[in-house]
Amino acid sequence: MGRFGKFVYSAGRWTSGAPTAVPFLLVDVHDSDIATVDYRAADASGGRFFLGYEPRIYFEEPDAAAPVDTRAEAEGFARWAREATGTDVDPGAVERLMAAPDGAPPVDDFVEETVEKLAALAGLPAPGWPPDDDEPAG
């Protein structure tokens, strides 16, 4: 069984639950296979994309939603990072981490690894992952 949880970066730190300020980055992890990434800037612009798999692919419901426009979302996230952290991010590097709209396998075995790579690109620390109760001891 994988990790589940919401992790929010706002006001200079990671927390769980809801954002405490704008701009923010909200990452919702589902079973270590999907991370829904929502980002909002101070002007209320923002977007959503997925790491790992898009839910429509993961849950085998390809018509449940339109595929994510990964190029547009990568550019939007790069703008967010520049505003929120002052970090210049290559949209191409962000796009390579995103869930493939065609369902191709993700870049990492566990979506938490991809979340950490995305955070590093944006100049953020990695979220403080709580212990996974199903993880083997030692």
Q: State the Cα–Cα distance between residues 103 and 62, nearest whole angstrom.
A: 10
Per-residue pLDDT at 138 exceeds 80: no
Paired tokens of 6: 């919401």
pLDDT digits (tens, 9 = 90+) for 61-77: 999 999 999 999 999 99
pLDDT digits (tens, 9 = 90+) for 79-100: 999 999 999 999 999 999 999 9
Q: In what order do the strands lie in the sheet with 46-52?
A: 13-16, 5-10, 24-30, 34-40, 46-52
Mean pLDDT of 7-29: 93
Strand, helix or coil at 131? Answer: coil
Pairing outcome for strands 13-16 and 24-30: unpaired
